[in-house]
Amino acid sequence: MSQVNLNGYSLRPIEEKDLEWIRKLRNDESTWSQLGTFKFIYEVTQKNWFKDLKKRDDSEYLVFCNSKSNLGLVRLTEIDRGNRSMCVGGDIILEKRGKGLSKIMYRLIFKVGFDLLGMNRLWLNVLETNKKAIYIYKKNGFRGEGILREAIYRNGKFYNYFLMSILAKEYYQDNQNK
């Protein structure tokens, strides 16, 4: 996939030079504590993952950036071209959280998913405790689809996972009304 741009921001494929800052982002507790599963990422493991990633057609990992710096990581996984559906997610670097960048990042994700890849449905899972993310997803047009009850076990307690999605027709209708 090539670079995608919107209002001075971009999504571009990850490169080997990005691995260190991505590893720091993903290993930071403020990131992984909001995700469903956590495995500490080691340099050797990550380099092998990066090599394997190039061979896969069901996943894309992209850097969210502007002309000055990298701002986050975008995950497009479980890409099902037959059913035109994929899982999406993104992590903003610590220093840039709370500055409205998630809205821009998701607009770029929608551009890739709906406009470039022709997907009909973009979906994600979010921990019930991640209230900020749920708010952001709803504000960006995602709707609740269901609950994966007690799907995540953390710190001696089970938590629900909320399944949310946005359909192409909802995305295009929303953009038409703006």
pTM of the model: 0.88
Report d(CA 141, CA 165) in Å as an integer. 8
107-133 pLDDT per residue, tens: 999 999 999 999 999 999 999 999 999
Q: Which domains does the chain have, with CATH numbers?
A: 4-176 (3.40.630.30)
Decide: 108 and 10 in contact? Cβ < 8 Å.
yes
pLDDT digits (tens, 9 = 90+) for 53-111: 878 889 999 999 999 999 999 999 999 999 999 999 999 988 998 999 999 999 999 99
Q: 1-5, 40-44, 144-148, 156-160: which range is least confident on average?
A: 40-44
User: Hey, CA dihedral for 36, 42, 44, 47, is it positive or negative?
Assistant: positive
Q: Phi and psi (nearest 5°) for 129?
A: -85, -10
